[in-house]
Amino acid sequence: MTTTLQSIIRDAALAPEGKLKIDWVQAHMPVLNRIREEFERDQPFKGLRVAISLHLEAKTAYLAKVVKAGGAEVVITGSNPLSTQDDVCAALAEEGITVFAKYNPDAAEYKDLLVKTLETKPDLIIDDGGDLVTILHSERRDLLPQIRGGAEETTTGILRLKAMEKDGSLQFPMVAVNDAFCKYLFDNRYGTGQSVWDGINRTTNLVVAGKTVVVNGYGWCGKGVAMRAKGLGANVVVTEVDAIRAVEAYMDGFTVLSMADAAKVGEFYVTVTGNKDVIRGEHIANMKDGAILSNAGHFDVEVNLVELAEMSVSKRTVRRNIEEYLLKDGRKIYVIAEGRLVNLAAGDGHPAEIMDMTFALQAMSLRYVNENYKEMGKQVIKVPYHLDEQVARTKLESLGISIDTLSAEQKAYLESWAAH
């Protein structure tokens, strides 16, 4: 292993501002603080290099510091060209972490920074949406042998990993962090629920109450986005392709429509499906003048921006992170943050207390894979239940909440088939 490499960042002078941001979140991440103490004591990553690709803002920076505290040499890059914060990168680089990331690189540079991260020959990886895994399993297979395993952050990344596992392509174990209870129940639902509206509100500075919000997809993220839209006073419409989730949305009190119908009524749209072309030309053709489109799902594929551009006579930036498309018939359609994750590209992402649990799971999963990779096989691995429970217990403790325990009699009663 070599020593810390030269970082590639926008501006080292931004470090003091980034450091303040990291200090603020650290004070609100008690579960991760506890893990940092364990890591400092046990040094689980001593002598290893860890490559991280995550939304490079303050909470992620603190995770990187915790992994470093565990003895690792950390190399970090972004996981979305618009979610990297240059001041946070500068602060991390000052802390002896190698940073290959900038806000808004072009597509080639974004890719190059990911590749450079992998060229440092990490032993372990943390991925978000599968960027690192895809490069390792396609054009840079030469970098595969050193990798022991890693952990994946998000729903779509895990879908991709499962497809790779199924056809035998996956070359090392990856822990499915998203599928842990303390991840999707809180991060996808309450994290996305709050941070999407934070992103939309701070970007548009428009009222939500009384307006019609269309939420595309009623999965864990969609439930949170719809719930919080209701709390802001919107009329909420949900679209789905899954019959059970559509009934769930209906029973939760939302109007369920096909996208063809929802296209006619929405003032705000939020896609959260992980799918492509959820909003496309045929929908935009029927939208209200002034409709605002945003995505909180995967990359920039959920809103078909190519079709929108083809229907438009011009496009201009009308406010930071808002583009106005002038359609041939005179209507205007607005798109936030180029159709990339609105909560991260036009905001700071999920709050610290939410990422506290997610990143505690990431840190523990990385340790788990490092300690067990030889026996794991080239598979997608579940986060062990006891780690999930440990996060919940530490969270409760930090909140000063105690819960009850089963008596021996109650436990026996629950486990007995003959009990009445």
Least Cβ distance, residue 131 to ligand SAH (angstroms)? 7
Does 240 belong to an annotated binding site?
Answer: yes
Residues near 13 by Cβ (< 8 Å), separated by ≥ 6?
Answer: 90
Q: From the list ligand SAH, ligand NAD, none, which binds 7 (C-beta under 5 to 8 Å, kind-based)? A: none
> Which residue matches tokens 């290893």?
48
Residue 368 assigned to a binding site: no
Chain residues that interact with ligand NAD, rule: CB under 6 A: 154-156, 184, 188, 192, 216-222, 239-242, 245, 272-275, 278, 296-298, 341, 343
What are the residues facing 295 on neighbouring strands?
Answer: 271, 341
- As beta bridge partners, residue 49 has 73
What DSSP character marks residue 184? Answer: I
Whole-number Å distance between alpha carbons of 201 and 188: 19
Residues 6 or more apart whose Cβ sits within 8 Å of residue 138: none
* Shortest reach from residue 335's CB to ligand NAD, in Å: 16
**In the bound complex, what is the minimum distance in angstroms from residue 274's beta carbon to ligand SAH?**
8
Kindly tell me which of 95 and 165 has the beta carbon lying closer to ligand NAD.
165
Picked from ligand NAD, ligand SAH, none, the partner binding residue 54 (CB below 5 to 8 A depending on kind) is ligand SAH
- Quickly list DSSP for 52-73: EES--SHHHHHHHHHHHHTT-E
Q: 33 or 146: whose CB is closer to ligand SAH? A: 33
Smallest distance from the beta carbon of 58 to ligand SAH, in angstroms?
8
Main-chain phi, psi angles of 335, to 5 degrees: -125, 130
Our CB check for ligand SAH shows the closer of 336 and 344 to be 344
Q: Find out whether 121 is annotated in a ligand binding site.
A: no
Report the nearest approach of ligand NAD to the CB of residue 374 (Å): 29
Report yes or no: 211 and 234 within 8 Å, Cβ to Cβ.
yes
Flag whether 187 is marked binding: yes
Nearer to ligand SAH, 184 or 218 (CB): 184
Q: How far apart are CA 368 and CA 358, in angstroms?
A: 15
Residue 128 partner contact from ligand NAD, ligand SAH, none using kind-dependent CB cut-offs of 5 to 8 Å: ligand SAH
Q: Name the residue nearer to ligand SAH (CB basis): 148 or 350.
A: 350
- According to DSSP, the residues that pair with 77 across neighbouring strands are 53
Alpha helices in 296-384 (DSSP H): 305-310, 342-345, 352-376
Nearest to 256 by CA among 271, 245, 264: 245
List the structure tokens of 113: 């920074």
| Whether the Cβ atoms of residue 118 and residue 98 lie closer than 8 Å to each other | no
User: Rule CB under 6 A: which residues touch ligand SAH?
Assistant: 54-55, 57, 59-60, 79-80, 128-129, 153-154, 156, 178, 187, 191, 298-299, 341, 344, 348-350, 355, 358
Tell whether 162 is in a known binding site: no
Is 397 flagged in the annotation as binding?
Answer: no
Partner that binds at residue 218, options ligand NAD, ligand SAH, none, CB closer than 5 to 8 Å by kind? ligand NAD
* Distance (Å, whole) CA 229 – CA 238: 11
Decide the pairing of beta strands 268-271 and 322-327: unpaired
> 348 a known binding residue?
no
SS3 letters for 225-277?
A: HHHHHHHCCCEEEEECCCHHHHHHHHHCCCEECCHHHHHHHCCEEEECCCCCC
The entry of ligand SAH, ligand NAD, none that residue 60 binds, CB within 5 to 8 Å by partner kind: ligand SAH
Residue type, 92: L
Is 275 annotated as a binding-site member? Answer: yes
Question: Measured from the CB atom, is 263 or 357 closer to ligand SAH?
Answer: 357
**Binding-site entries:** 128, 153-156, 183, 187-188, 217-224, 240, 275, 296-298, 343, 350
**Binding-site entries for NAD(+):** 154-156, 188, 217-224, 240, 275, 296-298, 343, 350
**Binding-site entries for substrate:** 128, 153, 183, 187
